[in-house]
Amino acid sequence: MMAEQNNNHGSGRKVKAVSVIGRSVLTIFLAATLGTAQANSLSIANQSSSFDINNYNGDSRWIATGYKTAGVFGALNASGPGTLSVTYLGNSGIWLDQFSFGSSAGGGILDEACCIGRSITAQVGAGIVDFQFEDDHLGFIKNGGTQSTIPGFAFLLDNKQSSTFAASFNYRNNRYDFQYLLGFNDSWAGDKDFDDLVVGVNFTPSPAPIPLPAAAWLFGSVLFGFISLSNRRRV
């Protein structure tokens, strides 16, 4: 009877040990696989100093808070793969202008015939995002190309003292939040207003891949230790 009770106690301790070690193994495995994940993001590569924008008036159909009076040049860059969403916010140009993704991003166009608030998306990888602005008089600027004011596009700021590119708008009882506003200045007249076609940009990173080789090695090491400990307890 005493031996049976001892065996029961021993079995209970063994089950408890298995439970504790099992939870430890799971915790270590999850830490190894998930703890290294880092969210990808957008940034402005080769960012210039901020400069004044003249005569920006946006679009009366798009209800914005204030006017954009400054901007910077640069190239929109993704630190890793994700989905880029670009929303048409209006224009004030006489010529017909458009934004388009390049062929490597799957195409997709926003032009002045679009409804305000229309969006297009593209799956992009790490690096300079493939898109361009152009007008109907051969004016053309590609993201990552040599920037100039005519034609060119700017990352819009409220003023030269601002360092925040994110913007929020309320339009027809809906709220829109953007990480960046991009304003195109077409080749008409050289007015440097950067409002001939305006788009808002957002980025959703793809899930980070799990580093399986390192995680599997760690999991195997812990499992081997658990088996060795269990064998010693049986002796």
Higher pLDDT, 57 or 220: 57
- Average pLDDT of span 179-196: 91
Spatial strand order of the sheet with 75-78 comes to 42-45, 75-78, 127-128
Q: Which residues of 190-209 are buried (b: 16+ CB within 10 A; e: fewer)?
A: ebbbbbbbbbbbbbebeeee
Instruction: Reply yes or no on whether the pLDDT at 96 is more than 90.
Output: yes
Q: What does residue 145 show for φ and ψ, rounded to 5 degrees?
A: -80, 175
| CB-based contacts of 177, cutoff 8 Å, min separation 6 | 166, 167, 168, 202
Instruction: Reply yes or no on whether the pLDDT at 121 is more than 60.
Output: yes
Rounded CA separation 175/166 (Å)? 13
Reported confidence tier of residue 21, pLDDT bands at 50, 70, 90:
very low
Angle at 47 between CA 190 and CA 134, to 5 degrees: 40
Q: What's the pLDDT at 31?
A: 46
Strand partners, 167: 178
Distance of CA 199 to the CA centre of its chain: 16
Helices (H), the chain: 2-34, 212-234
Q: What's the pLDDT at 17?
A: 46
3-class DSSP state for residue 22?
Answer: helix
